[in-house]
Amino acid sequence: MTDVQLYLAIGIPTFAVLVGILMNAVYHTSVNARFNSIDARFTSNEARMSSLENRFDARFNSLEVKFDTLIGKVIDVDNRVTRIEAKLDIR
């Protein structure tokens, strides 16, 4: 075996391994970038959901106040009707 054959026998597989390592590093970087972009999308969606949650909470709180006011008015009317019935001895 000549020196050139020995160098080729050792050099070509070594070169192939180095190219494989480089390709894996590039692939790993691209996969990592995709995961980072997906993570950013989840973060933006979480912010949007939080905003929606705050808006719904504000609307439900507003409805609660309105229902409490309405219930108070109904109770007032019931008390008045009860007093009128008692005064007129309707029951």
User: What is the rounded distance in angstroms from the CA atom of residue 2 to the CA atom of residue 9?
Assistant: 11
Q: What is the pLDDT along the chain (91 residues), one digit of tens a residue?
A: 798 998 899 999 999 999 999 999 999 999 999 999 999 999 999 999 999 999 999 999 999 999 999 999 999 999 999 999 999 988 6
Q: What global pTM score does this model have?
A: 0.53
Say what the pLDDT of residue 91 is. Answer: 65
Q: 17-28: b or e for each residue (b if 16 or more CB lie within 10 Å)?
A: eeeeeeeeeeee
User: What is the rounded distance in angstroms from the CA atom of residue 27 to the CA atom of residue 52?
Assistant: 38
What are the tokens at 13?
A: 């597989």
